[in-house]
Amino acid sequence: MTLVSVTEGEDKPLKYPTIFNSADVAVITKVDLAEAAEFDALTANKNIQSVRPGMPVLRVSAKTGEGMDELLRFLASRVAESRPGGAGNQLALHIDERLQTSRQSSFQSCE
């Protein structure tokens, strides 16, 4: 996994191609700051794909929660794949249950 903060710029994949070639996914962080940092997500994705074609790209913001569910599911799936005997699957189920509970709590607080 390679993390790219919007404050680092869209050209990070071009400057450091080795870290992108050795990762399975790119995670663009601090997306809530993209406008202020004048970050161009399309250019960033194009640069990531030019270095590592087909690489999945996730966008997250710890501040707003955007993309966090997808990131957690990705991590859980990787753990599930790496652990024999179903231990990883149990973790993935636990994370999914926590996400459901979190969503329900968030929805109820908005009512």
Q: Tell me, what's the pLDDT at 92?
A: 67
3-class secondary structure, 56? coil
What distance lies between CA 26 and its chain's CA centroid? 7
The token duo for 65 is 């929660």
pLDDT tens-digit profile of 6-34?
A: 999 999 999 999 999 999 999 999 999 99
Q: Tell me, what's the pLDDT at 85?
A: 65
Q: Tell me, what's the pLDDT at 24?
A: 92
pLDDT tens-digit profile of 94-109?
A: 777 777 776 555 544 4
Q: Tell me, what's the pLDDT at 107?
A: 45
Distances (CA, A) of 60 to 2, 28, 108, 111: 13, 6, 23, 25
Q: Where are the domains of the chain?
A: 1-64, 67-111
pLDDT tens-digit profile of 28-87?
A: 999 999 999 999 999 999 999 999 999 999 999 999 999 999 998 888 888 777 766 666
